[in-house]
Amino acid sequence: MGLFVDIKKRLPGFTLEAGFESGAEVLGLLGASGSGKSMTLRCIAGIVKPDKGRIVLNGRVLFDSDKGVNVPCRQRKIGFLFQNYALFPNMTVEENIAFGLQNLDREQKNRIIRANVQMMKLEGLEKRYPFQLSGGQQQRVALARALAIEPEALLLDEPFSALDEHLRSHMQKQFMDTLDHYRGVTLFVTHNIEEAYGLCGKLVVLSGGKVGAEGLKENMFLKPPSLETAQLTGCKNFSAVRRLSANEWEALDWGIRLKVEEEPEERVSHMGIHAHHIRLARREDTENIFKCWPAFTSESPFKMTVYISVGRKPLSPEDYHLQWEIAKERWHELKDRPLPWDICLEPGKLMLLKDK
């Protein structure tokens, strides 16, 4: 049981070809803007009709182009949380929550409304209208409305994008608590890698309307199969490569030779390393040790990003090879050390990537 999707939909500029399956774990749809993430959700929900394919939820065929099946949106038992929440402005909180419950009697409706108001901590707000609510409160109302119909699938379309950082963190915790008790299929669309990693068990990466990669989130972040997947999952350092031997490659953009641990199964075009995986060399290190100089630094509240030139002094702030992320405490220890610094690019942290 679960969700099966295999659809095609012609769109301006590209054709959406989404194919994947989802079970009990939260499945994240990750991709750049315009990659087809939201359109995939709309096709699953029945808001948009695909041109071809099948959608099956818990054994129920929702869409089948060959057999002429296209179950109406309201009959699909799917809860949809839109990016802008899409609350009805002329309805109160309780009326919004009750929107999908028209076929129930008043007593059943009231029972479901009370249960969802309590679950979403909306007590005292039942008679308010959306314009009288904060962004976080509106989001909780939208989630309560999506859950009120007891959906077999819950579709979340970038639900945190309109929230500030503090509220986003709070609402992520609220979502995690809610999803712990939800037993249906959950699809979570985002382009935020921290959200994807925190909330999802598996990821599907969409690129230009096609599935570029899919798998467990840990594998997708640590061993992405392609250059684009690595970029979408937060890697900032890339170089075109040339193979020298079984486990040695030349990083053409960095001007260095590197040993790697993995043996690639497919044609490789690039190498990558996460900014936080670069480190100072230790006495016991024997491979991939290089001298470096800082070209310039960028500061955030809790870390420093040091843009470093490898093998030679930089000629300008733009003359660098790698971004190196360091905790503020570590940076205070490092910044006054004599130059050059010795860094290590661990063989096990280097990623060999194909173009697509």
Q: What is the pLDDT of residues 87-97, one digit of tens each?
A: 999 999 999 99
**Cβ–Cβ under 8 Å, residues 70 and 46:** yes
Taking the CA atoms of residue 232, residue 233, residue 239 and residue 242 in that order, the dihedral angle to the nearest 10 degrees is -100
* The two structure tokens encoding residue 11: 């769109």
Q: Look at residue 263 in the predicted model and tell me its pLDDT.
A: 79
SS3 201: coil
**Cβ–Cβ under 8 Å, residues 160 and 84:** no
Enter the pTM of the model. 0.86
**Cβ–Cβ under 8 Å, residues 158 and 83:** yes
CA 179 vs CA 29, 175, 306: distances in Å: 17, 6, 38
Q: Look at residue 41 in the predicted model and tell me its pLDDT.
A: 96
**Cβ–Cβ under 8 Å, residues 322 and 349:** no
> Which segments of the chain have a pLDDT < 50?
none
- Kindly state the percentage of the chain with pLDDT values over 90: 70
**Cβ–Cβ under 8 Å, residues 351 and 302:** no
Q: Look at residue 353 in the predicted model and tell me its pLDDT.
A: 94
Q: Look at residue 82 in the predicted model and tell me its pLDDT.
A: 86
The tens digit of pLDDT for each residue in 257-269 reads 999 998 776 789 9
* The two structure tokens encoding residue 335: 């910044």
Q: In what order do the strands lie in the sheet with 289-299?
A: 279-280, 341-344, 289-299, 303-310, 322-327
SS3 232: helix
* The two structure tokens encoding residue 173: 């915790």
Q: Look at residue 159 in the predicted model and tell me its pLDDT.
A: 84
